[in-house]
Structure 1
Amino acid sequence: MSGIKPTLIDMFSGCGGLSRGFMDAGYEVLLGVDNEEIALKTFKENHGQAEVLKADLFDPETINEMKRIIGNKKVDLIVGGPPCQGFSLTGTRDADDKRNTLFRSMVEAAKVFEPQAFVLENVPGLATLYKGKAKDEIIQSFSNLGYTVNFEVLFAPDYGVPQIRKRIFFVGLKGSTKFAFPEPTHFPNEYVTCGDAISDLHDREDDLGQEIDVYLNDPKTDYQRRMREKTTVLYNHVGTRHTDLVKEVIAQVPEGGNHKDLPPGVGDSRKFNEAWTRYHRSKPSKTIDTGHRNHFHYEYNRVPTVRENARLQTFTDDFVVYGNKTQQYRQIGNAVPPLLGFHLANKIKTYLKVEQEV
C-alpha cells in the first residue's frame, strides 16, 4: 500500500473505540458522527486530524452535511455501531422501536460515499430477535448496493481483551469476495485478566487522585506496558467516595462474587443480576457497562475508576476521556474495545485497494 492510509468515517461514533482501533492499525479517521457533544469532544481529541459532526442520523440532511465536511476525499471504509436498545437484552425489546432502523443511515452513507467496505457492530441479540428481521434487512440492504456481507459474533477475550464481552460484527466488501474474520489470538487458559490489566494502578481508597495525575507504580505485565507506552501522565484515574455503609457491603462480597454471596438482609437495596459484582483478579472482567454502581474492584472496596474501565476496554492510557464522571463512564461503557477494532482493521486492510489520488 506504499504508506498510503486507508480512510474511514465512524457513524454513531460515541467516543470512538472502534475507529481508534482502526487508527492504531494505520487508518486515517476522517470524521466521527454522533448526537452527544461530550463524546465528540473525546473523539476529536483522540483521533488525530479527524473532524466531528454533531447530528441526528434520523435526519436525511445529515448525509449531505457529512458530504460537505469530507469534500472530495475518498472514503475507503464506513464503520458504525447504531444504538442497540431495541435489540439489547437489557432494553425493552420493542420490535417497533425506531432506533432499530438507525442502521439504514449507514446504508444511505454507503450509497453516497461508495466505500470499499463497511463494518456494522451491535449486540448479539440483533441476529435472532424478531425472527432475525433486522439481520436480514441489514444483509439485504447492503447486498443491493453490491456488497458481499458476512457476520460473526466475536468474544472479546479471544482477542486479548480483559473483559467478557460479545458483539456481532457485519463486514461487507464491495464485489463478490466474502470477508474472513480474524482468528482468535488468545485461548481460555491465556486470557488477559483484570489483574494483568489494572494491578499497577494506585488503590484510590483514601487519596482519590485527580483527572491529570502521576503513576505511583511501575507496570507489572506486558499488557500494562502496552497501555502505558504512549504517555507518562495518568489520566482519568479518580476514585469514588463511597459511604461507610456501601463500603461495608462491598467488603462482604468475595472476589469474583456478587449479591448472591451477601448474608441475608445485607445489600437488599440492589438485588438484580449484576448487583454487587466484584471482579476476580485472575479472570477477565464482566462486561463494562455505562454506569458505575454495580461492579467493584477485585481487591479494593470501591467501583473501578474510569481509567480502570478504560484499561479493561483496551483504551491505551494516552486516550483522555472528557466530561463529568458520569459522562466519562458512559462513553467508555458504550464503546467497542479498540483492540477488537484493531484486529478487524488489520484483516480488512488485506482486502482493500488503496491508491494515491492524482
Structure 2
Amino acid sequence: MDVRLPVISLFSGAGGLDIAVERCAEPPLDQDGRKGPLSVAVATDYDELALSSLRANFNVPTITRDIRLTPTEELLEAGGLSKGEPALVIGGPPCTPFSKSGFWIEEKRESRDPNASLLDEYVRVVTEAQPEAFILENVQGLTYRTHAAQFDRLISAMRDLNYNPQWKVLIAADYGVPQLRRRVFIVGRRDGKKFRFPEGTHSGWSERHSVVDPTKIPYVTAKEAIGDLLPGVLEPGEMLTGEFAELAAEVPPGQNYLWHTDRYGGRNVFKWRSRYWTFLLKLDPDRPSTTLQAQPGPYVGPFHWENVEDSDGNPRARRLRVPEMLRLMTFPEDYKLEGSRSDIQRQLGNAVPVELGKVVVRALMLQLGHLAGPDATRDDAGPEQLSLMP
C-alpha cells in the first residue's frame, strides 16, 4: 500500500513536474528507498505521445483528453481520491498563448488566444478537488502587461478560494540547472498561509543581469553538464542543412547570427538586430545553456558549440542530442521518451527542469510540514538534511 500523499497532475506532458514531485527529497529518506512524501495519483494531457513517455517511467493512471472536456470528478475517480484528499494539484497550462514564440501572431500579441482559457480550467480543478496546495508553472510572458487580464483573473480566482497565491519568476540557473530558463511559479496553500520561495543557491551573469553574488555557487556551465558526452553518437536530423547551414557552421561558440553583420568578424549578411536572438545561436561552453525550445525553426538554437562534418567533409552546426537535452533539463539519464528526436525535443522543451521543480516542491513540503528540516528559505535547506514526517 502506497502511504504517500496523492497528487493530481494536469498538463503533465512528459513528466518534468511529476519527477520533481516524486523525487522532491532525494536521496532516499528511509530504508524503503522513498524519495519523498508525494506520489502522482493521476496524470492528464491531450498529447498521447507525451503521456506514453510518462507511462514508460511512472506506474500511474492517465487520461488523454482536452482538459476542457475532463470533469474533475473523473480525475478524482481515476486517482482513487475524494474531494479535499489530494495533497497537490500541479501543472503548467500550455504556454503558447503567453510565450514570445509566435508573438508576431496578432491574437497572441493582443492576448486573444483561446487557449488562454486553460488557466481557468486549472482554477476549476483546484476549486472542485480542493487540494492542500497547488503549484502552477508557466512562461515568464504570462506576467507581462499584455496578458494582465488573464494573469489577474487567475490570481484573483485563487485568492477568492483562500489559497493566498504567491508568484515569482525563477531563473533555473539560480538553482543549479545548466540553463538560463525563466519561468513563473504560482503557489498557493488551502490554509491561506503565505508560501515563501526558496533563495537561489547559484549565481552568474546573463544577458539581462551582470551582478554576480560571490557567496553563492557559480552557475553550472553547458560544458560541465554535457561536455563529457563528446564526441557522442550522431542522431538522425541533427545536422543543419539548407540555406544557412554554412553560415551557422562559421558562428563561434556563444555567438549567433550577429556574427555575420558588419559589427563582427563573420560575413556581412544580416542587418543588425534583424532576427530573433536564437537565430543561429550556439552554446557557450563556459556558460549555462539558453532556453531549450520545444518547437524551434530549422535555424533556431541553441546548437552545440562543436561542429560535425557532412559526407563531403564540410563543417556543419548540429542540434543537441537527446542525452544532452536530458542533461540540460536535469532529467534522469535513463528517462524513457517516446517518438522521434524532434518529438523528444518538443516534450523536453515544454517540460519543467526537474531540479528547478524539486526546489519548489521541496520548499512547499517543508512549509506544509510533510518534510522535516531547515526553513525552506535558507540556503542550507539541502535534501541531505531532510526527513519524512511520521
TM-score tier by shorter-chain length is 0.7 to 0.9
Match of 1:22 in 2: 21
SS at match of 1:147: coil
Match of 1:259 in 2: 257
Aligned-pair CA distance for 1:76: 0.3
Match of 1:213 in 2: none
Match of 1:162 in 2: 178
Output one character per residue of 1:174-220: Cα deviation in whole Å (capped at 9) or x when no partner. Answer: 1231000011111226000100110111324xx526xxxxxxxxxxx
- Corresponding position: 1:329 with 2:345: yes
The unaligned stretches of length 5 or more in structure 2 are 25-35, 103-107, 205-211, 213-217, 261-265, 308-316, 372-390
Q: TM-score, normalised by structure 2?
A: 0.76
Whole-Å Cα distance in 1 between the matches of residues 134 and 100 of structure 2? 25
- Corresponding position: 1:309 with 2:325: yes
CA 1:127–1:321 in 2, change beyond 3 Å: closer, same or farther?
same
Whole-Å Cα distance in 2 between the matches of residues 44 and 37 of structure 1? 10
SS at match of 1:309: helix
Match of 2:228 in 1: 200
One of 163, 185, 203 as aligned partner of 1:187: 203
Output one character per residue of 1:285-340: Cα deviation in whole Å (capped at 9) or x when no partner. Answer: 11100135422111233111122122111112021111122211100111111111
Whether the 8 Å contact between 1:239 and 1:305 is mirrored in structure 2 is no
Whole-Å Cα distance in 2 between the matches of residues 68 and 89 of structure 1? 37
CA 1:257–1:131 in 2, change beyond 3 Å: closer, same or farther?
closer
Match of 2:281 in 1: 277
SS at match of 1:30: strand
Q: TM-score, normalised by structure 1?
A: 0.82
Stretches of 4+ aligned residues off by more than 6 angstroms: none
Whether the 8 Å contact between 1:250 and 1:302 is mirrored in structure 2 is no
**After alignment, is 102-111 or 92-101 more displaced?**
92-101
Letter in 1 for 2:334: D
The unaligned stretches of length 5 or more in structure 1 are 210-237
One of 36, 43, 65 as aligned partner of 1:55: 65
Whether the 8 Å contact between 1:253 and 1:261 is mirrored in structure 2 is yes
Match of 1:127 in 2: 143
Q: Which residues of 2 match residues 1-358 of structure 1 at below 5 A?
A: 4-25=3-24, 26=36, 27-47=38-58, 49-59=59-69, 61-72=70-81, 74-91=85-102, 92-130=108-146, 132-188=148-204, 190-204=218-232, 207-208=233-234, 240-243=238-241, 248-262=246-260, 263-264=266-267, 271-291=275-295, 293=298, 294-295=300-301, 296-300=303-307, 301-352=317-368
Which protein, 1 or 2, shows the higher relative CO under an 8 Å CA cutoff with sep ≥ 6?
A: 1
CA 1:4–1:344 in 2, change beyond 3 Å: closer, same or farther?
farther
CA 1:335–1:241 in 2, change beyond 3 Å: closer, same or farther?
same
Whole-Å Cα distance in 2 between the matches of residues 241 and 331 of structure 1? 20
Output one character per residue of 1:141-170: Cα deviation in whole Å (capped at 9) or x when no partner. Answer: 112222111111101110001111111111
The number of equivalent residue pairs is 320
